[in-house]
Amino acid sequence: ATPTAIMVGTGLGAQRGVLFKNAIGLEASARIQVVVMDKTGTLTKGEPEVTDVVTADGMAEGELLRLVAAVERESEHPLAEAIVRYADGQGVDGVRAEGFENVPGHGAIAEVDGHRVVVGNRRLAEREEIDLGELAQHRKELATTGRTVVIAAVDGHATGLIGIADAPRETSAQAVAELHALGVEVVMLTGDNQATANRIAEQLGIDTVIAEVLPGDKAAKVAELQAGGRKVAMVGDGVNDAPALAQADLGIAIGAGTDVAIETADLVLMRSDPLDVPTALRIGRGTLRKMR
């Protein structure tokens, strides 16, 4: 692109809070064929809230929350924060956990009152050989309503489920529709459960979902989508999105996201509005047209 076209494109973007950090990003945005979007914090508000607590194995709800919150107090995961906030609201007492172990993409494990408490997703439950029993059906039902489901087990026995909702951003569905109108394929990429992700994708009109992806595997998924020379943009907010943002032809960070994501991206959406993704692609296309 000519320096003038780049200046104009960058300036247009800046007016709308779409900050291109380099000329390469602006040129790449004109050629994007696929937009990959992280779910939590990008398509959704990233404000998870506990909506359901289900217990089993004779466990009282307060006791379940006490044990789970003790583990999650040691974690920095947004789901952990939601659980702790809810437990505090229910007035459970703050017992300390020991020997905390964070299992990325899975959950967390610690000792509470001499009990081994495992808190996380189905993959973690499988790894720990925990049989969900009567909770299996509840888990499936909660997931199909779009809830993220956290499984709790005490000393190897499944004792409860915590359903967590994270509402889509108001403009996510429209952003997807506008990207489709631009002839761009939209893909959701998430570490969350397949059924949960499918439900939210359905609400937003997204037809391709890549779920249950481990934090370290997001970049490889982007690379797979780039096969055959397809130009892929990745939109994300989290620390675990950074390698995928770097791998993409155009890395786009949500302005409200983590510093690592913002530093790695070619483009930052200052308003944290998914609608600014199609805006950025239109600015890129307009800039490229003026070059010719």
Can you give the binding site for ligand ADP, defined by CB under 6 A?
40, 72, 75, 77, 79-80, 105-108, 119-121, 148, 150, 190-192, 215, 238, 240
Strand order in the sheet with 208-210: 18-20, 267-269, 250-254, 232-236, 34-38, 185-189, 208-210
Q: Which of 27, 38, 128, 192 binds Mg ion (CB under 5 A)?
A: 38
**Closer CB to ligand ADP, 166 or 276, in the complex:** 166
Report the alpha-carbon angle 245-202-55, nearest 5: 95
**Closer CB to ligand ADP, 257 or 278, in the complex:** 257
Least distance between ligand ADP and beta carbon 209 (Å): 12
Letter for the amino acid at 261?
A
**Closer CB to ligand ADP, 199 or 285, in the complex:** 199
| Residues assigned a catalytic role | 38
Residue 190 contact partner, candidates Mg ion, ligand ADP, none, CB within 5 to 8 A by sort of partner = ligand ADP
Find out whether 221 and 212 touch, Cβ atoms under 8 Å: no
**Closer CB to ligand ADP, 106 or 139, in the complex:** 106
Least distance between ligand ADP and beta carbon 48 (Å): 9
Least distance between ligand ADP and beta carbon 225 (Å): 16
Give the residue closest to ligand ADP by C-beta.
Answer: 191
**Closer CB to Mg ion, 40 or 272, in the complex:** 40
* Interacting positions 162-221 with Mg ion (CB under 5 A): none
Contacts 24+ apart (CB under 8 A), 82-86: 82/48, 82/49, 82/50, 82/164, 83/50, 83/119, 83/150, 83/162, 83/164, 85/50, 86/49, 86/50
Find out whether 158 and 56 touch, Cβ atoms under 8 Å: yes
Q: Which of 10, 29, 40, 55 binds Mg ion (CB under 5 A)?
A: 40
Q: What is the C-alpha radius of gyration for the chain, rounded to an integer number of angstroms?
A: 21
CA–CA separation, 189 and 209 (whole Å): 6
Is 237 among the residues that bind Mg ion (CB under 5 A)? Answer: yes
Least distance between ligand ADP and beta carbon 132 (Å): 14
Residue 237 contact partner, candidates ligand ADP, Mg ion, none, CB within 5 to 8 A by sort of partner = Mg ion
Q: Which residues bind Mg ion (CB under 5 A)?
A: 38, 40-41, 237-238
